[in-house]
Amino acid sequence: MQGDYMALNFAASREVTRLRLGGENRSEDDSILGYEPDGYVMLARDERGVSQPLRIQPDVHPHTDAEVPLRYRVRNNGVRIVTNAYFFPEGQAERYQVAKYGELRVADNGEALLVRMLGEDLQPL
């Protein structure tokens, strides 16, 4: 099996890092390993259907019916949501280099699966 991949850097991961560091007062260069390593970021959909991070918490509950809990993990002093890479058929890098969003399927327990990549217009690539 052959293919290529692209590294992923979700905006939600960056927001989790910011929240774990205490907001705007610290830089992303500061270590976040001194905290509980895994947790949940609560998401809410905006008018386009794109989920935005609201807050982080150590457990899947509590959350409202309008919020989606998404599990994150801290590995190598970075926040990982779902995966850090997307694999695609060899030779199709040009097709996927315009990706702006990842479509996730999230279970009730916060575990997620990256289903596909989407362009700026939220259409599948």
Flag whether 125 is in a domain. no
One-letter identity of residue 92: Q
CB atoms under 10 Å from CB of 100, counted, come to 13
pLDDT the model gives residue 25: 53
Flag whether 21 is in a domain. yes
Flag whether 99 is in a domain. no
Question: Which tokens hold the place of 63?
Answer: 């959350």
Q: Which has the closest alpha carbon to 73: 99, 121, 107, 112?
A: 112
pLDDT the model gives residue 17: 87
Domain span at 17:
3-91
Which tens digits make up the pLDDT trace of 68-93? 999 999 887 788 999 889 999 999 99
Flag whether 107 is in a domain. no
pLDDT the model gives residue 35: 56
Which tens digits make up the pLDDT trace of 14-68? 999 888 877 555 554 555 555 567 999 999 999 999 999 999 999 999 999 999 9
Flag whether 119 is in a domain. no
Q: Which residues, in sequence order, are CB contacts of 16 under 8 Å at separation 6+? A: 39, 41, 53, 56, 72, 79, 81
pLDDT the model gives residue 106: 96
pLDDT the model gives residue 36: 64
**Number of separate domains in the chain:** 1
> Counting Cβ atoms within 10 Å, is residue 76 exposed (0-12), middle (13-18) or buried (19+)?
exposed
Q: Round the average pLDDT of the chain to a whole number and report it.
A: 87
Q: Which has the closest alpha carbon to 36: 68, 79, 83, 82?
A: 79
Question: Which tokens hold the place of 29?
Answer: 């260069």
Rounded Cα distance, 31 and 34, in Å: 7
pTM of the model: 0.83
Rounded mean pLDDT, 108-116:
96
pLDDT the model gives residue 21: 79
Flag whether 98 is in a domain. no
Q: Which has the closest alpha carbon to 103: 75, 79, 68?
A: 68
